Amino acid sequence: MEARVMEQFNYWLSDPYFDEKTKEELLAIRNDSKEVEDRFYKDLAFGTGGLRGIIGAGTNRMNLYTVRKATQGLANYIIANGDPKKGVTISYDSRRMSPEFAKETALCLAANGIKAYLSDTLRPVPEESFAIRYFGCQAGVEITASHNPPQYNGYKAYWEDGAQVTPPNDTGIIDDVNAVTDYNNVKTMTEADATAAGLLVYFGKEIDDAYMEALKKQIIHPEVIKEMADDIRIVYTPFHGAGLVPVTRVLSELGFKHVYVVPEQRDPDPEFTTLEYPNPEDPKAFKLALELAKKEDADIVLATDPDADRLGVYARDAKTGEYIGFTGNMSGMLIAEYILRERTLTHTMPENPAFVTTIVTTNLARAIAQKYGLHYVETLTGFKYIGEQIKIFEQEHSYNYVFGLEESYGCLAGTHARDKDAPVAVMMLCEAAAFYKKKGLTLWDQMMNIYREYGFYKETQIAITMPGIEGAGKIAALMDNLRKNPPAELDRWKVMEFRDYETGTVRDIATGKEHPTGLPESNVLYFELDDDAWVCARPSGTEPKIKFYIGVRGKSLEDADKQNKTLSDALRKLIGD
């Protein structure tokens, strides 16, 4: 075992800064060398998405001390590069230790003279994003590990525009967090002292009410909702998370009369006891919701993840009566096509409208944006880059953001928030369901109509987990090999263009000519293939995984499935999986 590991382990055991409960936890594992090494071989990385890790004692774990250390770095950055008088908002979801981590964050900020606006109960990511701009704060923090298993928690950092931090603030905050090496130099204070000094205040109903009003402004056809409200039957599950209150409230205030919440998953539960994995991408997570849908004869089935920034969808196929799952690309494009078409027809589209996606989102987005004449922008993976585009449009007085989505089940209609917003996605899908039901169509029927018009786009993802030090080395070696030896073809597809976002270059394979990507540096490789197919390789910034994204366009669902499998098999052969 490395000397640094034992040095840190003994420091945590002996220094009076760490509490007795922490020391008892460490004493219980002192004879498990692998566990000790995993907890102390590095500091839990504060990446461009913040912190995310397993809860427990140690430098490579989520605990009060690593959260406080990260917050001290954030506070240092705000004091040097922002306006500490503006304050910081802090919200949290239903995960284990989320309230404690949120309060610890607030008290550290307060001890640094920065006013902390702390949520008085669990609230979702989009409402935190909204609150930052509502209060005019310099930054914000959401305590959440999104859809990770229950042993995880995390810490998302936001800047004054309401989006997660982007360059140069992200690397600046990372540097300041990494510069905090002595835990004894991290500031904190008691809640009583922070409150008395006016440096800690709680927020609640005021934000909820303002957020609701902002959501409802996105509705296009309130008259259709009113007409069809008694005919639409909706099943919803918050997966024990923060979506319950905003989702059920907005649907109720819009007039939907038949909204059935899965009772077993209604209440917050940090253990997610009814779920193997609280992820709306996982079909197994919909078991209880689909059972309720069949019982209540529901038109649509909706699920939000614990921090309610992502939405999973099932809808009925009119021909078979079966419920069919939508990918994030599909549900996002269903919402997008509805908004773009109806805003165009009702003359409510803003001037110079813009549609923003990421480089790993379906190419169907480009096709639909082109039909309705929207300015189309692709960003790096991560919704923070989509949120950043809203700020850029506003600063440059260039375009008006209408819609944005990424493949990982997240989208945003409107500019009230600058992160993925599942409540607004729920609202727009329910409006669309009412609109199409009036025409005798289900959401699945309409999805098929979109495919028949634009082509049958199909995307998939291959995620390979490689944990620990050894895994990190394998991921780095795999990316290095692909970068130095890019394939000329994958099965029947020729590689037309190779993009290396780390070097910032795009190479035309036929001519050898290169030009800049125009996007920030990132360890991502993209292979544009012929026939509108593509492959992208990207190591995860928050998990020990490397992800490969794949997209094709077929002539039918069956053809797209076949093409997708062929390309996936060719990729697996290339990487030796």
pLDDT in tens, the chain (577 residues): 688 899 999 999 999 999 999 999 999 999 999 999 999 999 998 887 899 999 999 999 999 999 999 999 999 999 999 999 999 999 999 999 999 999 999 999 999 999 999 999 999 999 999 999 999 999 999 999 988 899 999 999 999 999 999 989 999 999 999 999 999 999 999 999 999 999 999 999 999 999 999 999 999 999 999 999 999 999 999 999 999 999 999 999 999 999 999 999 999 999 999 998 899 999 999 999 999 999 999 999 999 999 999 999 999 998 999 999 999 999 999 999 999 999 999 999 999 999 999 999 999 999 999 999 999 999 999 999 999 999 999 999 999 999 999 999 999 999 999 999 999 999 999 999 999 999 999 999 999 999 999 999 999 999 999 887 788 888 999 999 999 999 999 999 999 999 999 999 999 999 999 999 999 999 999 999 999 999 999 998 667 899 999 999 999 999 999 999 999 999 999 998 7
381, 524 in Cβ contact below 8 A?
yes
How far is the C-alpha of 443 from the C-alpha of 316, rounded, in Å?
7
Which CATH topology does 42-203 take? Alpha-D-Glucose-1,6-Bisphosphate; Chain A, domain 3 (3.40.120)
Query: Domain boundaries in the chain?
Result: 42-203, 211-454, 456-575
Q: Which residues, listed in sequence order, are joined to residue 313 by a DSSP beta bridge?
A: 302, 326
Fold matches, 42-203 and 211-454 = yes
Per-residue pLDDT at 540:
82
420, amino acid identity: K
> Residue 531: which region, alpha, beta or left (left: phi > 0; alpha: psi -120 to 50)?
left
**Between the CA of residue 119 and those of 50, 190, 208, 384, what are the distances in Å?**
19, 17, 11, 22
H-run or E-run covering 337: helix 328-345
Q: Output b/e per residue, 431-443; b: 16+ Cβ within 10 A.
A: bbbbbbbeeebbb
Q: Tokens in use for 212? A: 């609701």
CATH 3.60.20.10 fits 211-454, yes or no: no
Per-residue pLDDT at 49:
80
The radius of gyration computed from the CA coordinates of the chain, to the nearest angstrom, equals 24
| CATH number, domain 456-575 | 3.30.310.50
Residue with tokens 């056809």: 221
How far is the C-alpha of 164 from the C-alpha of 562, rounded, in Å?
37
Centre a 10 Å sphere on the Cβ of residue 33 and count the other Cβ atoms it contains: 12
Q: Tokens in use for 230? A: 């008694």
Per-residue pLDDT at 399:
98
Q: Is 146 a catalytic residue?
A: yes
Task: Kindly report the pTM of this predicted structure.
Answer: 0.93
568 phi/psi in degrees, rounded to 5: -65, -45
Q: Output b/e per residue, 328-366; b: 16+ Cβ within 10 A.
A: bbbbbbbbbbbbbebbeeeeebeeebbbbbbbbbbbbbb
Angle between helices 205-216 and 244-254 (to 10 degrees): 50
How far is the C-alpha of 266 from the C-alpha of 504, rounded, in Å?
46
> Residue 31: which region, alpha, beta or left (left: phi > 0; alpha: psi -120 to 50)?
alpha
CA 326 to chain CA centroid, Å, is 17
Identified catalytic residue from 91, 94, 146, 522: 146
